[in-house]
Every structure is written in C-alpha cells, then in structure tokens.
Amino acid sequence: MVMLRLVSDPSGTSWPAPARGTFEISDFRFANGERLDGLRLHYQTVGRLRVDDRGRATNAVLIMHGTGGSSDQFFRDIFAGELFNPGQPLDASKHFIIVRDGIGHGASSKPSDGLRARFPRYGYRDMVRADHQLLTEGLGVNHLRLVMGTSMGGMQSWLWAGMYPDFVDAAMPLASLPTQIAGRNRMSRKMIIDAIQEDPGYDGGEYTEQPVQGLKAALNVLTWMSSVPLLWQHEAPDRDAADEFLDKRMANSLQTTDANDLLYQVSSSADYDPRPLLKNITAPLLAINSADDQVNPPELGILEEGIKEVRRGRAVVLPISEATRGHGTHTYAALWKDELVRLLDESQPLYSPLRK
C-alpha cells in the first residue's frame, strides 16, 4: 500500500501530490536531421512503478497533453480528482502515472529558453521518440498498461500504439482524428503561423518584445478553432458578457504565450499521419471524441473510417449535452471515465504484478 499525500484545488477536490523531475537527453537527433545537445524533458509522476519477477513494468500509465498545454493541466479536480484517487479508474495507489511536458511545452526544452527560431523544428514523431527515451532510460518503464492523451496528446496516442505496438496494453486517444492534419484544422494552423511570421515585430524570431499584433491574431484563431457555441452562449449570454469573456481570455493568453513557442507548437503537427500505422496497432484502442468538438467534428467521418483499420479499435463520439465542453471535453474525465474503465477491462495486462 502506497501512502499518498493529497493536494487540492479551491473547489475542495483532492488528488495525490505529484513528484516532479527532469530527464536530459544529451544528443537528441530530430527526424529532419537537426540536433539538440541537452534536450530536457520535465515530467510529473504519481504512484510507484511496479515490475514483475522479470523486471517488466506492469502498472505504468502515460498521459500526454495538447498543443500549448503542459503536465499541469491534468492536476485539476476535473481530471486528477476524477481518476487518481483511491477506487477511481487510475487509482494512484495501484498505478504509476507519468505526465510529461512534451518537447517545446511547459518546463521542457523550447524555443523561448534562448534558441528562439534556431530551436530545432520538432514534429510529433520526435516528441513520441523522446518520450519513449524518457520512459525507458529515465524512468525504467519498459511497458505501458495504458497510453492516453488529449488533442495533440490524443494524436500522439495513435502514434505510440502504432510505433511501439508491443509496448502498450491499451491506448486511449481523446479529441483527435487518425489522419494527416488537413482541411479546416490545417488552415487554422496556417493562419496562426502566418499571423505571427507576417508581423514585422516578429523579426525572424529575434524580437525583444512579443509581436503583439501577430500574436493577438494568432490567439484569436486559436480561440475560434476550438470554440464551443452552446457553452459560450451560456457563459456569455449578453453582448457585454461576450466582450468581457473574450477580453479576459486574450489578456490571460497574452501573458503566458511566447510567439516562437506557439509558432513551433502549432507547426509541429506537420508530420502527423498515423494512417500507415493503424494496421500495426495490436492493443485495444478506444478513441473518444465529442460531437461539439469544432476541431474534430463528427461530420468528417474520419474517426469512423480510421477505426476500422485498427484490429481491436473502438470509437465513441459523445453527444452534445449541457455537460460537454467542445474540444475541451477531453479533460472532463467525468464525461468519459466509464469508457476508460471498460477499456481497462477489455485489455489484458501483458505482464502481471509481482504479488508480495
């Protein structure tokens, strides 16, 4: 029995306190040939790793955040408070939960550390390979009971399950599609990239003050990309409330966003295309989207087609309700945790715990 210290958010919900760490890869080679000496990956873990009598990890879970996010986004009542407590689906007294900041995000290596636009142009596959190295070399995790993620982390879950099929017992991508970033999604990203680069203040990435005009335009596109008509109508039910909602959101984002970091984050999906990997996926995979997700809307039919390629794949599209949160439904665990429990039941752990 692991004793877990609890932390809580202002709502009074509690979850086990994470431990933080940083893993450094001395000479990381990116898929495009660029290199970085000293790639840092910051991570948070909850629980304790268990291995079987042959040293194989039995209880590790990797959770990956979305574009512009970080590991911190999961330590909230709506996620950690629904999943990591005793008796909950990813009970931290039984699981070893790893939540990392992907390359270019959070406290991991990123352009704003100093290299600016000379930072290597990373892609999703680089992020997944670096995470694999963090797990195997940094944390002694040679097998995952579950890989899951939201949005970009959802897309990376498809990649993980296809690139390292023997490494995972189960995969759960949330708010993602198993295809190249194209159509409205790619166009939105191009708008963000162009808005930043075309601001004269951007100066090829060598700005001393944020290129505010371009950055604002980029953040507006980002807001629009994942907007939630029903929820926002409720949260901003009259003209002034809507203006205030947007102004607050913009002010917050401007304080925390660096133009190069955002440019890189939004660009990094350029290499994403899991289609050639779908037939390589052997583990049960459960993809969850929601019908009000403007980034991955159900009328595209891409999830339904792609999931047929996955031998043990299943897809669920949550209907729009008063409780769904558009693209952000992915972090509201109460809305899909029953499905997670079903996935864990359906999938057999390849290795079983050492019983003492």
Ligand X SMILES: *[C@@H]1O[C@H](CO)[C@@H](O)[C@H](O)[C@H]1NC(C)=O
Q: Which residue is listed with tokens 């911190």? A: 72
Parallel/antiparallel/unpaired status of strands 285-290 and 313-318: parallel
- Residue 283, C-beta contacts closer than 8 angstroms, at least 6 positions apart: 161, 165, 168, 169, 170, 171, 312, 347
Q: How far is the CB of 164 from ligand X (least distance, A)?
A: 7
| 151 carries an active-site annotation | yes
Residue pair 94/161 in contact by the 8 Å Cβ criterion: no
Parallel/antiparallel/unpaired status of strands 146-150 and 96-100: unpaired
User: Rounded CA gap, 241 and 178, in Å?
Assistant: 37
**Cβ burial, residue 69 (10 Å; 0-12/13-18/19+):** buried
3-class secondary structure, 260: helix
Q: Is the dihedral of CA 61, 304, 316, 174 positive or negative?
A: positive
Q: How far is the CB of 190 from ligand X (least distance, A)?
A: 27
Tokens of 234: 């409720």
- Residue 176, C-beta contacts closer than 8 angstroms, at least 6 positions apart: 149, 151, 152, 154, 155, 157, 158, 287, 289, 296
Tokens of 230: 């029903």
Q: How far is the CB of 349 from ligand X (least distance, A)?
A: 18
**Which of 71, 108, 109, 151 is flagged as catalytic?**
151
| 330 carries an active-site annotation | no
Q: How far is the CB of 282 from ligand X (least distance, A)?
A: 7
Q: How far is the CB of 315 from ligand X (least distance, A)?
A: 21
Nearest to ligand X of 62, 217 (CB atom): 62
User: Rounded CA gap, 116 and 134, in Å?
Assistant: 24
Nearest to ligand X of 276, 319 (CB atom): 276
Q: How far is the CB of 109 from ligand X (least distance, A)?
A: 25
Nearest to ligand X of 163, 333 (CB atom): 163
- Residue 344, C-beta contacts closer than 8 angstroms, at least 6 positions apart: 89, 145, 146, 170
Q: How far is the CB of 134 from ligand X (least distance, A)?
A: 19
Nearest to ligand X of 165, 349 (CB atom): 165
Question: What one-letter code names the amino acid at 66?
Answer: G
**Which of 199, 261, 292, 293 is flagged as catalytic?**
293
| Closest residue to ligand X, based on beta-carbon distance | 280
Nearest to ligand X of 165, 298 (CB atom): 165
Q: Residue 281, by phi and psi: left (phi above 0), alpha (psi -120 to 50) or beta?
A: beta
| 65 carries an active-site annotation | no
Site residues (vs ligand X, CB under 6 A): 162-163, 165-166, 277, 280
**Which of 95, 143, 327, 330 is flagged as catalytic?**
327
Q: Which residues are catalytic?
A: 151, 293, 327
